[in-house]
């Protein structure tokens, strides 16, 4: 299983950052390059515990759908989503928030496994991990910008 670990320091209160990280509308704006659109389940506003969202997006030149469910949430400190249906063999994304020195530290732990055994692991190491890291960095930059603009 591949793992991406990111930390983003944001000059905003923890409640603001937590809400922006689960905001479906901001997510769609921040992923406009991949034309990501919520098409089922929660399709706008703030996703809550035990809710699902189905995304349709163009990744690597192919339209794909991906359904996630929020499996765990402790406001405003953490939430975890997992893939129920989609391209990956498995996917789990932990979002962790803590206040430190007037900032909110937003931590992403993104774990995924591609199908196709050895070929999938090779694709992860050669390309997919870097692609997904950049995708998350762009999303986190949008959360940071929105949060700091609102302060």
Report which of residues 150 and 143 the model is more confident about: 143
Q: CA–CA separation, 7 vs 3, rounded Å?
A: 13
Burial class (CB in 10 A: 0-12, 13-18, 19+), 114: buried
Domain membership of residue 127 as a residue range: 2-149
**0.85 exceeded by the pTM?**
yes
Domain count, the chain: 1
Which tens digits make up the pLDDT trace of 72-119? 999 999 999 999 999 999 999 999 999 999 999 999 999 999 888 888
**Percent of residues, the chain, with pLDDT higher than 90:** 83
CATH number of domain containing 137: 3.30.530.20
């Amino acid at each position: 299983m591949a793992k991406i670990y990111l930390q983003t320091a944001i000059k905003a209160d923890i409640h603001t950052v937590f809400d922006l990280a689960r905001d479906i509308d901001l997510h769609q704006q921040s992923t406009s390059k991949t034309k990501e659109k919520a098409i089922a389940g929660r399709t706008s506003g703030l996703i809550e515990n035990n809710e699902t969202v189905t995304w349709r997006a163009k990744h690597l030149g192919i339209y794909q759908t991906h359904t996630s469910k929020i499996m765990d949430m402790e406001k405003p400190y953490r939430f975890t989503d997992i893939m129920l249906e989609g391209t990956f063999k498995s996917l789990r994304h932990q979002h962790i928030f803590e206040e430190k020195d007037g900032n909110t530290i937003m931590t992403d732990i993104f774990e995924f496994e591609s199908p196709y055994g050895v070929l999938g692991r090779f694709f992860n190491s050669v390309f997919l991990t870097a692609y997904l890291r950049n995708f998350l960095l762009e999303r986190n930059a949008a959360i940071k910008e929105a949060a700091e603009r609102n302060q």
